[in-house]
Every structure is written in C-alpha cells, then in structure tokens.
Chain A
Amino acid sequence: MNARVDGLGRIAQGAVPGRKKPLRFLTAGSVDDGKSTLIGRLLFDSRAILADQLDSLERQAAGAPIDLALLTDGLEAEREQGITIDVAFRYFATPLRKFIIADAPGHEQYTRNMVTAAAGSDAAVVLVDVTKLHLDRGEGDVAGLVPLLPQTRRHALLAQLLRVPHIVFAVNKLDAVADPAAAFAKVRSALLAFSHEAGIAPAGIVPISALLGHNVTSPWLLAGYDGPPLLALLEGLADEGDANDGPTLMPVQFVADAGSRIRATDGSEHELPGAGHRARVLWGRVARGSVAVGDTLRVFPSGEQARVAELYLAGEIVARVDAGRSAGVMLDRQIDVSRGDWLHRPGSLQPASRFAATLAWLDTEPAVVGRRYWLRHGNCWLQGRITAIESRLDIATLERREAGALAVNDIGEVLFETQQPLPLEAFAAQREAGSLLVVDPATNRTSGALLVKAALDAA
C-alpha cells in the first residue's frame, strides 16, 4: 500500500478552491449502508487521506484489507466500543470547490446528531442501500413501487424539516445486485414517488458503488442514468441563495466602541464632534436584504429610528453590505442599541410572544410543559415555556401522533410562550428569525431547537 501511495508522486491532495462558496453537506445513512465507505472514498479519491493516515489504518488492519470506515471514528471511546458518538467534520477539496462533510453517526442519538449535522448544511446526501430493499416486492402494490426503508424516509424528511437546501439520494451497493440498471430504475421510481408525496425536490438521484468508487468521483455507465457522478453533482450545486431580496433584517451581534478620534479621507485626524460623543459600531450578520449608507433603519425592540451614516466590512469602509456578510453599522445619531436587538426596515416586523413551532428535543431530560427554559433567539437570551405539546411526529412518516411528552430524539408540534415579544417569522421563510435554541437552566445543556411555524398574536 505504501508503494502505491508513494507511487502517486507529487499529486495534489486538493486544489485551489474555485469561485463557489464551500459546500457543507451531511451524509445520512444507517449502519452498513456504506456511509463510512462513501466518505472514505471521497476523501481518498480527492487525496485528502495522506500516507501516514493510511499507515495508521494499515497498522490497525494488521494484514487484513484496510477499513476506510476507521477514518471517521475519531475518539478512543468510539474505537473501543465500535460505535460513533458524535458528529465529525471532514474536509476535502477538488479543483472546483472546498467541501465540508458533517458526518452524523447512524444509530445512537440519531435525531440529535442529524439535527446537529443538518443545521447549517447546504446539502444532504441520503444513502439508500439497494441490497436491503425487496426489489421484487411492489409488483402486487397498486403503484408497483419498491417499498423504501423507514430510515430513508426519516433521513430525507428530517433534512427537509431543517430546510437543508439540496437533498441528494445516493443509491448505493449497486455492484452487489445482479441487474444494477433495473434495480436502480425501480428504486429511482420509488424515491421520486416518495419525494413527490413529501414535497421534496431532489437535487439528484445517483446510482453508485461506494466500495468500487463507481459514480462517486468517476463516471459509471449505467443504462437509465445520464447524470453526473455524485462528486460532480455536489460541485455544481448552487450556493444557498443569500436572501438579498426582502426587507432588511440584521441581528445585532456586537456593539463596538469606535473611539473618539476619526481619520478623514485626507489623512488628518480629528475628534468626533460633540462633547463626550463616542461613536459606536453595531456589528451583525445581515440575515435578509442589504444595508446601505443612507438607509433608514429601526431598532427592535426600542422602535427608535436612525440613518446609516457609515458602513464597515471587516475593517474596510463600504457603501453596502449584502445578506450573509457581517456589517458594521454607524448610525447618524446616538440611540440605545445593544446585543440582541435587531435592525430592520421600518414596518417590516410583527413581534409576537406566543407561537406554534416544531420542537426537536435533544436532551436526555424530557421536555416539561410549563417549565421555564432559557431561549436564544438571534443574539438575545430570554426565558420561555412550552404551553402545550400538541403532537409527536412519527419520524418515519411525519404523521402526527398524540403525545403529552417529548423525550430525547423526539420531534413534536408545540405551542410556546416567551417572556417578551420577539420579531418571529416562519422558519421555512427566514432561518434567523424563525429558530430558537432551548437551554436547560439547571444544567446549561442545549435541550432543543424550536422551528417557528406561525406567530399566534401580534403584540
């Protein structure tokens, strides 16, 4: 093995990344779906696995064929117990793009890990193990479709619930079936029917063999598939549209004292006008719209208004900052603004303190109706409580089941109430205003994630 790797000579492990933003994707699959092999394959073929890491795998294999899955089991406890505990992040690059894999373990604490991996991911690759499907079943079915496994439905539905922008199905282990083209055609029909029913528009359904590398990085000729290999598909995915349209919304992250001396464009320095006036810069990542010099912005919750006098972007003076980037806003008059406030276009917010939400529960202590929790909305910490648990979602089908409680890894529909009104929006439309973190006040553990569905009152 050493000779082979050395034989690569000075071949690039990655490449100068291209114009697109890095793509963060999660891999969703159950044990033995070949997820670790797929990740190992992507890392190996893109040369992100280096000679000493291969040496280490070989030492562990002690003569047996090496196991690429070992690359992703990072902790001693995991190796001892043969399980994966937590989400691991892996990196590789191609000539076109830098990739970040959020690798969520497939069994223990599944929902918790997948929620962690999916939050912030640009794409989800859902692995479908073709060898676990009854390819001859479904012929008696009315629709004539191969039944999908519950975990495939679960993985795709969770990714959709968390609004991962692109969902890709990778139909794996096609090397292990007698007629790969026929098998793929059947599974593809089933995935299309399921996606249609669930309202998912898949970014691709790719037939692969992670074991042999077919259609992962190199093309594989298969009747009925004329799309790109998985890696090329991921390279081509559009950047998540930064929400440049719509009324400006910016959570204030950090208020900086800009000092009292300012340098004019001619290089001369002078004191800011007004006795004791110290300019402050309001930093925050623009969530929607853009901020431009001259804009009138309102502050939530104070309701005060001011105009943007000067704008900064990482130390530079600019005229405009678009969504997705952090702006430093200096207003034309001194008003009270602190971390946790929001800057917004006047008239665009409808604050509410009661709302309906989907609650993903991540804590081993069950959710308790009426108990006070710490919440983080944007950059603001406040308290709130569940007023009712309306239902629990069956994760395999997203059907609502009656429930009075939510335990770890449960996802439910709840009614919620906060101590003060917030500028809430539906999570599906606006991530920053539509999501809240739930923290247990006794342990400080991150207990849950609230995805707002609808505000229930106008404050």
Chain B
Amino acid sequence: MNAPLLQDRLLPEADALAVTRPDRGQLEALEEEGIFILRETVAAFERPALLFSGGKDSCVVLHLAQKAFKLAGHSGTRLPFPLLHVDTGHNFPEVLAFRDAHVAALGERLIVAHLEDSIARGSVRLGSPGESRNGHQSVTLMEATLEHRFDVLIGGARRDEEKARAKERILSHRDAFGQWQPKEQRPELWTLFNTRLKPGEHMRAFPISNWTELDVWMYIDAERIPLPSLYLSHRREVVRKKGLLVPVTPLTPPLAGEVVEAVDVRFRTVGDITCTCPVESTAASTAEIVAETLAVTMSERGATRMDDRTSEASMERRKKEGYF
C-alpha cells in the first residue's frame, strides 16, 4: 500500500495548460444536475429553504435556483422557497452588505436566524466570549428549522471540500435532532431519490455536491455571478500565524508582539470572521481566480480554516451534531 511518490510529474506542466474560456460542456452537465436536484427538492418536499450566507457556493446555488424556477419572458415569479441565513454575529461586514443588496435586487425573501438569540435563550453557551461560533451554528439552524417547520434545507456543500463530505449523499437524511448518521445513509441509486420522511425529520439537499472549487470558479466566471468584494484581491491587515494569514478585525486584534502587515489577499472561503483566513493573491477578476485555482497547492479548507485543523475528524463531528 505504501506508494512511493514520484518526483517526475506525469501530466503536462502548467504552461501547457493555457487557461482559456472554459468549455461549456462540462459546466453544462454540472448545471443540469444542480438544477435537476433543486427541482426535485422543491417537488418532493413541503417547506424548503435555501441556506444563503453570501458565500460563493451559496451564490452559485442561488443562481442555479434562479435558472430552475424563473422563466424567461415571465415576470413576477419568485423562488418557491425563502432564503435562510444563520448569522453568527461574527461576520465580515462586506458580506452582510452584499447579502442584503443581492437579496433585494433579486426580490427574494430572506430569513435571518441569529446565533445571538440562541445565546439569549440559553440554548448556546459560549466557552469564551471571542471563540469561533462556527460549531454553534447547528443549534441556531435547528431552532430555525423547527420554528419555520422546514422539511428540507438546501445548501452549497461540496464533496471535494473535506473527507467526511466525500461520503455525503445528495439528499442527506437527518433525524429529529438534525443529526447525520453516516452508517445509516440511504443508498442513492440513479435519480430515484428516497425522499420519504417521518414527522420531525428533515432532509439536507446538496445540488453542487459534485462540483469542485475549480468548477465553482469557472461557473462564476462564465455566468458572471455577483460575489462579495472580499473574494477579489484587496489589501488587508493580517498577522502571519502557523502559515495562515489571520485577518486583523475588531474580534481578532493583534496580540502583543505580533507583526501586522498589509498584504494583497483574497478569500477562498467565507465563514466565521474569527476562523476564516484569506490567501495571498493579486487576482482582481474571476478569470484570474480560475487561473490561480488551476495552480493551487493547498486545499480550500487547509489554506483558510483554523477550525478544521484541530483534528482529522473535526468536520465529521460537527456534521453529526447537525452542522451543515
């Protein structure tokens, strides 16, 4: 089983892979699948909601939803579900501003569930005031699911993000506690999705399961999907820690002795402000991001998420607790 890793590379070198406008063929197949899953979800369940954070993956899913449910030549149609954002209170301000402007421009309905409210209710207790709220989101998400009686939550998770995600179904069944039980997953055969639920249970639907980070960027570029500005290169004050660029924010001020630098960066993922880091980049357009993604040597989460580094199984544990 121990494979020696060869130094001589076998595929064409970078300069042989000239970046051109992506061929629509592969993206069309992914788009067709994503739209198909969205229509399936809306048709099979009573009360869907689309998780929308303003992050790039949820922007792609929202764009697919526009294509799935809004008809050319027909006016006044709205998506057949509301958007739901779990607001941890630890946001990048430009992402919240984008979220509200984008939702208003599309004329959609946005429900915001605040983690602060869960803290006030006592259902979330923080270990320390400044800690990452990423893991606590599951509680607020379940509370919103119950309050609005959602029976399916549509999200932008991708299987290439993380090892536990690689085994997740496209329609993923959750028990009454919102928990994922990897050993009890329903076999998913062709497009014969098993959509049956018992009272109190719900489903998670992942229309872009089979997309990679590169596919997402190529699609955003090809379709000119609007994104928050922090996805493009900008100058930001950061502190270098353990190979990550930790942004200086009111919640993450520099500690004594730490050196603050102004660096040209962009974000590859956007999450809790206390644990999401940008990467060094001068890519000022989505086409340049596609080019950079082709050349990247670090995984999306490895380069940007402090919380996923704590243990090999951190994502799996959070997912079992109801994390998206």
Interface residues of A (CB under 8 A from B): 1, 4-22, 34, 36-37, 40-41, 44-47, 50-53, 55-56, 60, 64-69, 71, 73-77, 79, 85-91, 93-95, 97-98, 100, 112, 115-116, 119-120, 210-213, 217-218, 253-256, 258-259, 261-263, 269, 281, 283, 285, 312, 314-317, 324-326, 328, 339, 362, 374, 376, 379, 381, 431-432, 435-437, 439, 444-446, 449
Contact = CB atoms under 8 A, between A and B. Distances in A.
A404 to B, nearest CB: 24
Interface stretch (B51-59, B97-105, B298-306): B298-306
B87 interface: no
B13 A116 contact: no
Contacts of B77: 258-259
B127 interface: no
B3 A259 contact: no
B182 A210 contact: no
Among A7, A12, A254, chain B packs the most CB atoms within 10 A around the CB of A12
A67 B295 contact: no
B9 A11 contact: yes
Given A11-B14, A213-B10, A253 B313 contact: no
Contact of B210 (A91, A317, A439): A91
B298 A52 contact: yes
Interface string B310-324: 001100110000000
Contacts of A374: 196
Contacts of A44: 3, 5
B9 A314 contact: no
Given A76-B317, A85-B182, A285-B191, 19 more contacts: A1-B5, A10-B297, A13-B297, A16-B23, A51-B298, A74-B164, A76-B312, A79-B313, A91-B210, A115-B189, A217-B11, A259-B74, A326-B32, A328-B71, A376-B192, A436-B192, A437-B192, A446-B194, A449-B187
Given A52-B302, A254-B40, A263-B74, A116 B189 contact: yes
A21 B26 contact: yes
A449 B1 contact: no
Interface stretch (B148-156, B212-220, B245-253, B269-277): B212-220
A40 B1 CA distance: 10
Interface stretch (B62-70, B106-114, B224-232): B62-70
B17 A75 contact: no
Given A45-B10, A326-B36, A376-B192, A68 B1 contact: yes
B19 interface: yes
B99 to A, nearest CB: 23
A7 B13 CA distance: 13
Interface in B142-171: 159-160, 163-167
Contacts of B66: 315
12 contacts: A10-B295, A11-B13, A12-B11, A12-B14, A13-B296, A52-B302, A66-B5, A67-B2, A263-B73, A281-B71, A324-B32, A444-B198
Nearest to B212: A91
A14 B17 CA distance: 9
Nearest to B314: A76
Given A22-B26, A315-B66, A326-B32, A16 B3 contact: no
B68 A314 contact: yes
B120 interface: no
A73 B75 CA distance: 49
Contacts of A41: 3
Contacts of A263: 73-75
Contacts of B313: 75-76, 79
Contact of A258 (B71, B182, B189): B71
A116 B72 CA distance: 37
Contacts of B13: 11
Contacts of B23: 16-19
A259 B75 contact: yes
Nearest to A94: B11
Contacts of A254: 39-40, 42-43
Interface of B: 1-7, 9-14, 16-17, 19-20, 22-23, 25-27, 29-32, 35-36, 39-40, 42-43, 66-77, 80, 159-160, 163-167, 182-194, 196-198, 209-210, 212, 214-215, 218, 290, 294-299, 302-303, 312-313, 316-317
* List of 5 A-B pairs having minimum Cβ-Cβ separation, nearest first: A52-B302, A74-B163, A17-B26, A76-B313, A65-B2
B281 to A, nearest CB: 12
A16 B19 contact: yes
Point out which of B1, B29, B66 has the most chain A C-beta atoms below 10 A from its C-beta.
Answer: B1
B1 A253 contact: no
A3 B28 CA distance: 38
Which of B5, B26, B218 has its CB near the most chain A CB atoms (within 10 A)? Answer: B5
A285 B36 contact: yes
B274 to A, nearest CB: 20
Contact of A112 (B31, B160, B187): B187
Which of B10, B67, B77, B193 has most A Cβ within 10 Å? Answer: B10
Contact of A316 (B16, B72, B186, B317): B72
A88 B167 contact: yes
B1 A326 contact: no
Contacts of A258: 71, 74, 77
Given A5-B297, A14-B214, A446 B186 contact: yes
Contact of A213 (B6, B73, B166, B193): B6
B210 A75 contact: no
Contacts of B11: 12, 15, 45-47, 94-95, 217
B306 to A, nearest CB: 13
Nearest to A120: B190
B70 A315 contact: yes
B297 A6 contact: yes
A14 B209 CA distance: 18
A55 to B, nearest CB: 8
Contacts of B72: 312, 315-317
A87 B182 CA distance: 11
Given A315-B71, A435-B189, A211 B3 contact: yes
Contact of B188 (A60, A67, A116, A218): A116
A76 B31 CA distance: 32
Given A45-B11, A93-B212, A53 B302 contact: yes
Contacts of A285: 32, 36, 191
B303 A52 contact: yes
